[in-house]
Structure 1
């Protein structure tokens, strides 16, 4: 029964996200990254190697999604800076996984949280069109 409920929740979440605006989709990606970083941090505390690796890998995959969504031609310096920052976050998370170092995860959590706060602060009238994240 619980398994069915979880599957239904995931199906509904995916369906609603596909219908969401590009802005809301990017906001959801940021939120998921933060969730995976919390899981990675907890896994490091518990010395759970498997969970640490899975959580960091999922966060990196989502950083790749954000990176792929950048329009470097139209996004100017902001897109270019985000491109470099996403690369930095990915590299730090790889090191965090190898060294099982929570401080690296905490640093990236702070960076992603700050970017997300900026993203969330974009006025609604600018939410239409391409994401350009």
Structure 2
């Protein structure tokens, strides 16, 4: 399953949190929340000049977004899957840029984009979640 890579990424940054009992929809939501947490931490690290922690937080966010990307169901032939794949790729590149340049605007951009994806994801009605499956 595509979730395992993402779950591993999230387990490394958060203890407990109900991952063991989360369904696929809940796991994806937890992953998005974890990435957003790490982006917020990176912004704080830039403000305090903590380069090492900034790099670690951004690396974790990139890892989580990679897990979200890997969880996309490419068997579902929709433009949504292609667009999400491209968006996750873009977010990862912007996070790399943010880390290299201590750029809070790039971090804010990724947080906004991921926040919008998350809001849409959690708005999926329960009866449609099985169809949505692994983030597509």
Q: TM-score, normalised by structure 1?
A: 0.86
The correspondence for 2:46, drawn from 38, 44, 47, is: 44
Q: Which entry has the higher C-alpha Rg, 1 or 2?
A: 1
Structure 2 contact 36–111 (Cα < 8 Å) conserved: yes
Aligned match of 2:56: 54
Per-residue CA deviations over 1:62-87 (Å, capped at 9, x if unaligned) read: 00100100112315111100000000
Runs (4+) off by over 6 Å: none
Structure 1 contact 21–127 (Cα < 8 Å) conserved: no
Structure 1 contact 37–55 (Cα < 8 Å) conserved: yes
Residue 127 of structure 1 deviates from its aligned partner by 2.2
Q: Which runs of 5+ in 1 are unaligned?
A: 1-8
Q: Give the number of aligned pairs.
A: 122
Question: Partners of 1:20 and 1:40 in 2: how far apart?
Answer: 27
Aligned match of 1:93: 95
Structure 1 contact 21–128 (Cα < 8 Å) conserved: no
Residue 132 of structure 1 deviates from its aligned partner by 3.3
The correspondence for 1:131, drawn from 120, 131, 134, is: 134
Answering whether residue 112 of structure 2 is matched by residue 110 of structure 1, we say yes
The correspondence for 2:67, drawn from 65, 68, 77, is: 65
Structure 1 contact 43–51 (Cα < 8 Å) conserved: yes
Q: Which runs of 5+ in 2 are unaligned?
A: 1-13
Q: TM-score, normalised by structure 2?
A: 0.84
